[in-house]
């Protein structure tokens, strides 16, 4: 349904004032506009972010922020792994306690998700996790000043430069944990850089520190202006999803499918001959690709990549710091007194 919805909106905008053609350029949409029909967007360029050599992000800090244990793994872990490879120090912030998703009693469910969350951080090379532990499915009734203030404290404490999270303007998002977290993150990003907000934090020794870059992902239509090449980190993305067994589309699902087919005297060659291989292959080829729409509610990472000449890719609404033209204007127009 999401694909149809995106196609409808895209085609409705094609050729209109806001369905602008892609600009040319080696790093910008080499397919010449192949995604117009797929994503709702209003910008005239889609930037392709490719793997960088060396550690261009050394000294920078990112926060991967998720309401639930599986959100980053499902939608953005290829990009998180890529940015960590390129020098970022990373943290994982989980805003709920995941008590509503998973087997066992409520207490067991919370514990299982907590264990999985630590495993995701380890797989992705993130330095530490912070669990805000708000009640699962209840974020729309939590005190937002408290929630936002805690995020601001973390951004100032960790000196976060870059966040990855749900898109606060993503359409048709049904989960309050997703859209409330997204809106709190968006507000906290700029408010953390102000000098009067939450003054008790400043009195305690923290200094203002605004977030400069944002990678927003969504389950429904969104403005996509950046596609990240995750071909070199796709197997880390698979591993992150294998690590989540309490809930989500990954975990041991491949092994379960392999065993259920075997009980009927059948096998899928792509799942291999052991459970470990089955879990990895199921996520890579079914959850992230062939059955992506049913498994995750978004198009296949492989298909998104192929539209841009890439093997695997993740789409984002990216917001970076605006470039000032003031220095250029002064250089071109200054006169002597």
Contact footprint for Zn ion (CB under 5 A): 67-68, 71
Distance CA 217, CA 220 (A): 9
Q: Closest separation between CB of residue 102 and Zn ion, Å? A: 13
Q: Closest separation between CB of residue 136 and Zn ion, Å? A: 9
Q: Closest separation between CB of residue 170 and Zn ion, Å? A: 12
Q: How far is CA 76 from the centre of its chain?
A: 3
Distance CA 97, CA 68 (A): 8
Distance CA 99, CA 72 (A): 18
Residue 67 region by backbone torsions, left for phi larger than 0, else alpha for psi between -120 and 50, else beta = alpha
How many C-beta neighbours within 10 Å does residue 86 have? 16
Q: Closest separation between CB of residue 322 and Zn ion, Å? A: 31
Distance CA 236, CA 251 (A): 14
Radius of gyration (C-alpha) of the chain in whole angstroms: 21
Q: Closest separation between CB of residue 68 and Zn ion, Å? A: 3
Q: Closest separation between CB of residue 133 and Zn ion, Å? A: 15
Q: CA of 315: how far to CAs of 264, 289, 298, 324, in Å?
A: 39, 14, 10, 26
Closer residue to Zn ion (CB): 13 or 182: 182
Closer residue to Zn ion (CB): 180 or 223: 180
Q: Closest separation between CB of residue 75 and Zn ion, Å? A: 9
Phi (first) and psi of residue 38, to 5 degrees = -100, -35
* Token output for 140: 């729309």
226-229 and 313-319: which strand pairing? antiparallel
Closer residue to Zn ion (CB): 175 or 277: 175
Helix (H) or strand (E) holding 217: strand 213-217
Please, are residues 244 and 109 in contact by the beta-carbon 8 Å criterion? no
Closer residue to Zn ion (CB): 29 or 98: 98
Closer residue to Zn ion (CB): 182 or 313: 182
Q: Which residue is nearest to Zn ion (CB)?
A: 68
Closer residue to Zn ion (CB): 67 or 315: 67
Closer residue to Zn ion (CB): 5 or 137: 137
* Token output for 156: 């100032």
Closer residue to Zn ion (CB): 68 or 237: 68
Helical H runs in 54-95?
71-75, 77-85
Q: Closest separation between CB of residue 144 and Zn ion, Å? A: 19
Q: What is the DSSP letter of 28?
A: B
């Amino acid at each position: 349904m999401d694909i149809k919805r995106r196609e409808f909106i895209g085609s409705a905008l094609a050729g209109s004032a806001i369905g602008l053609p892609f600009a040319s350029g080696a790093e910008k949409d080499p397919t010449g506009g192949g995604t117009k029909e797929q994503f709702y967007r209003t910008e005239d360029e889609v930037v392709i972010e490719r793997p960088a050599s060396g550690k261009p992000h050394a000294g920078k800090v990112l926060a991967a922020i998720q309401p639930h244990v599986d959100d980053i793994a499902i939608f953005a872990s290829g990009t998180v792994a890529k940015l960590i490879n390129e020098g970022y120090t990373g943290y994982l912030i989980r805003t709920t306690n995941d008590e509503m998703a998973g087997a066992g009693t409520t207490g067991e469910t919370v514990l299982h998700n907590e264990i999985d969350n630590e495993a995701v951080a380890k797989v992705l090379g993130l330095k530490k996790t912070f669990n805000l532990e708000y009640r699962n499915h209840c974020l729309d009734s939590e005190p937002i000043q408290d929630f936002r203030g805690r995020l601001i404290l973390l951004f100032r404490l960790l000196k976060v430069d870059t966040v990855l999270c749900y898109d606060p303007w993503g359409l048709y998002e049904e989960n309050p944990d997703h859209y409330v977290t997204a809106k709190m993150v968006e507000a906290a990003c700029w408010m953390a850089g102000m000098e009067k907000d939450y003054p008790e934090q400043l009195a305690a020794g923290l200094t203002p520190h605004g977030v400069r870059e944002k990678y927003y992902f969504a389950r429904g239509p969104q403005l996509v202006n950046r596609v990240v090449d995750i071909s070199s980190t796709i197997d880390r993305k698979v591993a992150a999803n294998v690590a989540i067994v309490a809930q989500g589309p990954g975990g041991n699902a491949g092994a379960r499918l392999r065993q259920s087919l075997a009980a009927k005297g059948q096998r899928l060659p792509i799942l291999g001959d052991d459970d470990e291989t089955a879990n990895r292959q199921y996520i890579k080829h079914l959850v992230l690709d062939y059955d992506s729409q049913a498994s995750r509610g978004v198009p296949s990472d492989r298909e998104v990549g192929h539209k841009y000449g890439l093997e695997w890719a993740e789409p984002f609404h990216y917001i970076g710091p605006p470039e000032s033209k003031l220095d250029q204007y002064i250089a071109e127009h200054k006169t002597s007194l």
